[in-house]
Structure 1
Amino acid sequence: MSEPFEAFGDVEDLAADLASPDATVRRLAVMALAETSDWQAVPHLVAAIADAAPEVREQAARALGEFDGRAVGEALARAVTDSVAAVAAAAAESLAELRDADAGGALLALVAHPSPFVRTAILRGLKALQIEASLQPAITALSDVEPAVRVQAVGVIGYLKRQETLPALIGAARDGSAEVRLAAVKALSFADQSAEAAAAVSAALKDAAWEVRAAAAETLGRLGVSSASPALVAALADELWQVRQKALQSLGRLRAREALPAIIVLLGDDNPSLRKDAAATLGEIADPASREALATRAQDADPDVRKTVAWALGRL
C-alpha cells in the first residue's frame, strides 16, 4: 500500500512552492504539505509560521494542528502571539490539539504572557498535555483577572487529578464567574469519596446559574458520597428540569433509598424525560417499596417511559 503523502506529491517538491513570490501559491503549498500527513513536512510548516503574509501564517498554524512534538509546540507558541488576530486564533485552536508532553516547554514559557488571549490559549493547550510542571502555574492562574484564563487553569488542574489540589478547586467553585464555577464543579468529579469536595459541590446546587446547579447534581453522583443525598433530594424541586434530571440520575448512582418518596413524585411529572429518569432511578435503587408506584406508570403515554418502567419492575 502506498504512503499517504504519495497521492499528494513529494514533500520536497511541494515545499519548493514556499519560495514563490506569490502568497497564494505559498498558502496552497502549506495546504498541500498538510494533506500529505508526512512528518517530513513539519520543518517546512514550521518555517511557514514566519512567512511575511498573514494568510500563509494562518494556514501554517492550522496545518500544524495535524502534527505534534516539540518543534510544533514551539512554532505554535510563536504563532499564538502573532499580531494578526486570525493567525493567533488558528494557533490557539491547534495548540488545543497537542498531545505530546515534549511540546510543553514552549507553552510553559508563556503562561504569564501579558495578553489574556495568549494566557488562555496556552493553558488550554497545557490541559491535555497533563504535565506536572503545569500544575503550579495553573494554580497561580486561578487568581488571574480574566475569567477565561481562570477557566482554563481549572481545566489544567482538573486533568492532573491531584488530591492536594482539592482546596484550590473548591475555592474556584466559589469564583465570581459562573463559567469558572462550572469548570471547577466539573473538575471536582475526580475526588472520589471526598467529603470536602461533596460539601462544596452540594453548596453549588444553590448556585444562581442553572448550568452550575446541573453540573453539581451530576458531580455528586460521581463522587459517591452518600451524605450528599439530602442535597440532591432538595434539588429535585429545582425550577429547571435539567437540574432535576441530573439529581435523579445521581440519586440512582448513590442507591439513595431515603429519596424514594421524592423520586416517586416525579413519576407523575409532565415532562416524559423526567418520568423516564425517575423510573430508571427507582430501578437502580431497586427497593420493593417502589413497586406499586412504578406499576401505576406501566401504561404511560410515552413508550420510553413504559419501557423504562418495565425494566425497573424487573429489577425489583
Structure 2
Amino acid sequence: MHNHSDIATGDALVARLVALEPTRAKRTEAYEALYRHARAVVVDQAGAVWLATMAAHPDHWVRTIAVRTLGSGRDPAAQPILVRALSDPDVSVVEAALEGLTPQSSDTVFDLLVTLLDKTDRSRLWVVRHAARRIAESSDPRRLDILADTLGDVHYGTEHDIAEALIRAGDPRVVPALIGHLHHRRPGRFAAAKVLGELRVVEATGPLVEVLRESDGTQALPVVEALGKLKALEAAPAIVPLLGHASPHVRECALSALNRIGGPLVASAALEATDDVHPDVRAQAVRVLARHGDHRAVGRLAAACDGPHVHAALTGLARLPDDSIVPTAERVLQTTDERRVRKLAGRILARAGRPPSLFGRHPDPVVRRAVVWVLGHHADSNRLWSLTNALKDEDEIVRSRAAAALGRITHEKTLPPLTEALRDPRPRVRANAATALGRTAPEGLRSLLADALVDPHPAVRSAASAALRATNRPL
C-alpha cells in the first residue's frame, strides 16, 4: 500500500462484506471486490501487514481472503500466519492456509496435517485433498506410508491426488498396504489398483482379478487398466466378459487391456468385437487384431482397409504372410491419400509371394512412383514393358525408379531402354541408369558408359565409375 487511501479502500471493502445481508449475489460481488483489492496490495510491505491484521478478523470470509492472498506467493514471511490458520474453526480458512503452505512449513506441522486427513466428513473435502497434497510435498519419511494407509478410505477426488503422489514416488514399500486395500475391499481399492498397475506390481495380479470379478465394469476400469499394464495372462478370462458390458467405454478399455496382455483368447474376442455397434470399440478391435490376429483375421482386416482405420488394418495384414491380401494392398496403394498408408501398402506388395497386377499409368505421380518401386522389388521380367514405359514418364522420380528397377531384372532386353536413359535430362535418372547397367554387366559396358563417365553432373560420373568397378572393368 503506497498511501493511506489503499488502507481506507481495503477497510471499506471489509466493512461492506461484513455488513451485507446473506444474499448470494451481493455477497459474492463484495467478496470478489475485496479479493481483487487484496491481490493488488499484497505485493507491498504495508499491504502485507494490513492483510496479516485481516487474517485475525472476526468474519471468516475476511480471514479466508487474507490467508489465501498471503499464501498465494508461498512467501516464507507469511508462513507463520498460515500455520496458525490451520487451527481456525472455519473450514474455508483452513483450506486457504493449506493451499499456501510451503514444503518446509509442511514438515513443521506434519502431524497436524495428518489429523486433517478426515476420511469421513464430506464437508471437509477440500481440506482433506489439500492436506494430502501438502503431505506428499513434505520430506517427512512417514509421508508415503501415511498416504498409502489413508488411500483405502478416502473419497471424492482425494484418492486421485494420493494415487498420483504414490505413482510419482514409485516406492515399492507401499505395495503391501495397497494390496491390503484390495483384500479388504476398501473404498479406495480402485485407486490402489491404479498405483499397483503403474508400479508394475506383478504379485498384485490375483487380488486385482478378484476385485474385478466382484465389481461393476465402469467402477472397475482402473483394475482393468492395471491388469493390462501388468500383462497378466491369467486376467484375460475375467476381462473378456466385459466386452458385453453396456458401456462402450468399458468395452473399449477391456480390448485395450487384452491388447497389452495377449494370449489365446484375444484374437477371438477382437474378431467378435469388430461387429460392435460403437465405432470406438470397432476401431480398438481392429488395433487388437493388427497385433494379435491370426489367419482368421485376414478377412476382417482386409474389410477394415475400406474404412478410417486402414493403417492399423494394413499393419495387421503385414504380419500375416497371406497372398490373398495382395488385391487389398494394391487397391489401397492406388486410392489412399495418406503417405504412411501408401508406404505400408507398398511394403506389403514388395514382400508378397507373387508379383502384383499393378500398372504404372495412374493420374497421380505419387502413386506411379509407388507402383514402379513395388515392381522393381519383384524384378519380374514379365513387367519389362511397364518399366520401360515408365522410363518415359513425365515425373523424374518415376523415371529414376524405373531405371533402378530395370537394373534388378538383369535381362538383355533392358539394355536399350537403360542406354537411352543415360541421355535423360535429369541427372538422377542418368545416375540410376548407369548403376543399373553395371548390375546387368553387359559386354561393352565401358563403351556404353563412355558419355556417363564425362557427364557434367558428379553424381552421374560417380555412378558410372562405381558400375565399372563393380564389374572389374577398367575405367
Q: TM-score range by the shorter chain?
A: 0.7 to 0.9
Deviation of the 1:39 alpha carbon: 5.7
The alignment partner of 1:173 has SS state of: helix
Q: For residue 168 of structure 1, what is the aligned residue in structure 2?
A: 207
- For residue 165 of structure 2, what is the aligned residue in structure 1? 128
How many Å apart are 1:93 and its aligned residue?
6.1
Displacement of 1:215 after TM fit?
0.6
Task: Answer with 120-129 or 45-54: which moved more.
Answer: 120-129
Deviations for 1:7-61, whole angstroms, at most 9, x for unmatched residues?
A: 8356985655433334333222322233213466555434323212232123234
Q: Which residue matches 2:318?
A: 286
Match in the other structure for 2:367: none
Query: 1:234: which partner in 2?
Result: 272
Contact 1:253 1:284 in 2 (8 A): yes
1:156 alignment partner AA? V
Q: What whole-Å deviation, never above 9, does each CA across 1:174-219 have from its counterpart, x for those lacking one? A: 1232234211110112224x42134433343344443222111112
The answer to whether the 8 A contact 1:126-1:134 is kept is no
Q: Which runs of 5+ in 1 are unaligned?
A: 1-6, 269-274
Residue ranges of structure 2 left out of the alignment (5+ in a row) = 1-41, 349-475
Q: Tell whether 2:71 aligns with 1:34.
A: yes
- Give the Å deviation of 1:87: 3.3
Greater alpha carbon shift after TM alignment, 121-130 vs 178-187: 121-130
- 1:56: which partner in 2? 93
2:470 is matched with: none
The one of 263, 276, 282 equivalent to 1:244 is 282
1:103-138 CA-to-partner distances (Å, cap 9, x unmatched) read 33443554566xx638x7357514532444433333
Cα pair 2:57 2:63 within 8 Å, conserved: yes
- Tell me, yes or no, if structure 1 residue 19 matches structure 2 residue 51: no
Kept in 2, the 8 Å contact 1:61–1:79? The answer is no
In 1, the alpha carbon distance for the partners of 2:62 and 2:188 equals 37
Native 8 Å contact 2:116 2:131 kept in 1: no
What is the rounded CA distance, in whole Å, between the counterparts of 1:139 and 1:57 in structure 2?
A: 33
Q: Distance in 1 between matches of 2:74 and 2:282?
A: 47
Choose the corresponding residue for 1:79, options 116, 140, 150.
116
* Alignment CA distance shift 1:60-1:279 (3 Å): same
For 1:293, give the aligned amino acid.
Answer: T
Select which of 188, 192, 196 maps to 2:227.
188
- Name the SS of the counterpart of 2:308 in structure 1: helix
CA distance, structure 2, for counterparts of residue 311 and residue 40 of structure 1: 63
Greater RCO (Cα-Cα under 8 Å, separation 6 or more): 1
- Which one-letter code corresponds to 1:45 in the other structure? L
Aligned positions, number: 295
Asked if 1 retains the 8 angstrom alpha-carbon contact of 2:233 and 2:263, the reply is yes
What TM-score does the superposition give when structure 2 sets the normalisation length?
0.51
Whether the 8 Å contact between 1:123 and 1:152 is mirrored in structure 2 is: yes
The separation in 1 between residues aligned to 2:77 and 2:261, in whole angstroms, is 46
1-structure distance, mates of 2:75, 2:111: 19
1:141 aligns with 2:181: yes
| Alignment partner of 1:310 is 2:318 | no
Letter of the aligned partner of 1:91 in structure 2? Answer: V
8 A contact 2:152–2:192 mirrored in 1: no
| Preserved CA contact (<8 Å) 1:80 1:88 | no
Q: Which residue of 1 aligns with 2:23?
A: none
1:150 corresponds in structure 2 to: 189
How far does the alpha carbon of each residue in 1:140-166 deviate from its partner, in whole angstroms, 9 at most, with x for none?
A: 3235566x5332232232233211111
Q: Which has the larger radius of gyration?
A: 2
Q: Which residue in 2 is equivalent to 1:267?
A: 305
Q: What is the SS of the residue equivalent to 1:184?
A: helix
